[in-house]
Amino acid sequence: MPRTLLVFAHDDEASAFAKAGVPHLVTGVGKINATLALSRAILDLSRTDTAVGRVIVLGTAGAVSEQARLDTVYQVTAAVQHDFSLDSPRLELAGDVVAEGAVIATGDVFVQDDAQRAAIAAVGASLVDMESYAYAAACRQLGVPLQIFKTPSDFADSSTTQGEWDGIVGSKSAQLFAFAEDRLPHLLG
C-alpha cells in the first residue's frame, strides 16, 4: 500500500514531529543531500510493500518578498533555482491547496545579504531555501507527487545570521506541527 513520506532537511525542523513519534525522513541540508537522500528513500521503499505514493516536505525558508509573513506556513506552488546560471525549468507543484501559495527559489547558500535577497525576489520568488528545487526535481524524475510547506524563519537579509536560525528553528518546528495538526492531520497518525 503506498504511503506518504514526510520529509525535512534538518533534524531541528523535524524536532516537534520526532518528539511526537511521527515517522519522517531527514535528508540533510543543500541540494545534493536533498536529492540523494530523497531519491534513495523513494527507490528503497519502492522495493517493499510500502512504496511512496506521495512526498510532503515541511521546513523553514527565508522570506524575500516584503509581503511574506513569519507567522504563516506557505504552500509552495513552484520552485526555481537562484544559483544556477544555465536555463533551468520552473517546476510547478500540484496537490490539494491547503495554504497560501508561494514561489520558492533554491540555492546552496544561506542567504543573508540584501543584494542577494533583492535578486532572488526579482525572479518572482517569495521564499528562499536550500532544498525545495532538488526535492521537486527528484520527485518529478521518479514520478512521485510532491507538496512542500514552508514557514519563513527570517528575512534573508543582512540582519540574518545562522545563529539566529539555530535559536528559532525549534519554535518553527512547533509551528509546522500545529499546521500539520490543523491542515494535514493524516500525517500525524
Q: Are 43 and 118 in contact (CB under 8 A)?
A: no
Percent of the chain residues topping a pLDDT of 70: 99
Confidence band of 166 (pLDDT split at 50, 70, 90): confident
Burial class (CB in 10 A: 0-12, 13-18, 19+), 127: buried
The mean of the pLDDT values for the chain is 93
Helix locations, the chain, DSSP H: 15-19, 31-46, 114-122, 132-142, 162-183
Residue 162 DSSP one-character state:
H
Long-range contacts of 66-73, Cβ-Cβ distance < 8 Å, separation of 24 or more? 67/126, 68/102, 68/126, 68/127, 68/152, 69/152, 70/151, 70/152, 70/153, 70/154, 71/175, 72/99, 72/100, 72/151, 72/152, 73/99, 73/149, 73/150, 73/151, 73/175, 73/176, 73/179, 73/183
Residue 152, phi then psi, degrees to nearest 5: -65, 135
Q: Are 24 and 18 in contact (CB under 8 A)?
A: yes
- pLDDT tens profile 66-83: 999 999 999 999 999 998
**In this model, does residue 189 exceed pLDDT 80?**
no
So what's the pLDDT on residue 88? 79
So what's the pLDDT on residue 156? 87
**In this model, does residue 102 exceed pLDDT 90?**
yes
So what's the pLDDT on residue 79? 98
Pairing of strands 101-106, 25-26: unpaired
**In this model, does residue 20 exceed pLDDT 80?**
yes
Compute the distance between CA of residue 182 and CA of residue 106 in angstroms, rounded to an integer: 27
Pick the CATH number of 3-188 from 3.40.640.10, 3.40.50.1580, 3.30.2350.10, 3.90.580.10: 3.40.50.1580
30-34, 116-120, 127-131: least confident range: 116-120
**In this model, does residue 106 exceed pLDDT 80?**
yes
Compute the distance between CA of residue 186 and CA of residue 142 in angstroms, rounded to an integer: 23
**In this model, does residue 87 exceed pLDDT 80?**
no
- pLDDT tens profile 155-165: 988 887 777 77
Percent of the chain residues topping a pLDDT of 90: 79
Confidence band of 188 (pLDDT split at 50, 70, 90): confident
So what's the pLDDT on residue 85? 74
* Residue ranges covered by each domain of the chain: 3-188
